[in-house]
Amino acid sequence: NNAGVYTPNRFLDYTIDQWHDTLDVNVIGAVRMCQAFLPEMLGEPFGRIINIASTAGKYGSLNQSAYNTSKHALVGLTRCLALETAATGVRVNAVCPGLVWTNFWYQLAPLLAKTNPDYEGMDGRAVFERIVSTTTPMEREQTPKDIGNLVVFLASAESCNITGQAICVDGGMTMG
């Protein structure tokens, strides 16, 4: 389950529609997929549900309460489904990426500048690099391959004793 929307805003500036959109895509989308596929998976000796959450599902963040709430909910869903399927061959885990470079950062930079004047006039790559350098102890961005490597492992038989986990791939960002 890998779908997500992100709109940074101050809590009082979010509209109810923004909350609905964020929760619908980030949580209800995963619920729908799980409801569609879990019944058949339960009849098999092996199954994996891997939710792509975020480090935002592990802590609070300034000016992103809708997103963080949705990712906390996705981690909660992961844990609840893991408990419900623990005695079966289905394992349910979440991957929590840290800062991954995509072109979306070019669209995100002006939105972030609205709530943080330090980012005014910076392009997406510059904003991204500043955030990585100030929040990630390894000072290294995560790549789609980094995330994919964990997903491949969790999808494999080698992960048969791992369930209900929300595993960060974040260069140490959530260590503290």
Say which of 6, 14, 59, 67 is annotated catalytic: 67
The whole-angstrom separation of Cα 161 and Cα 128 is 36
Cα gap 57→62, rounded to integer Å = 13
Contacts of 86 (CB under 8 A, 6+ apart): 163, 164
* Residue 119 falls in the annotated catalytic set: no
CB contact set of 98 (below 8 Å; sequence gap of 6+): 55, 136, 142, 168, 169, 170, 171, 173, 174
* DSSP code, position 166: E
Q: Rounded distance, CA 89 to CA 40, Å?
A: 12
* Separation of CA 67 from chain center: 9
| Distance, CA of 116 to CA of 111 (rounded, Å) | 9
Active-site residue set:
67
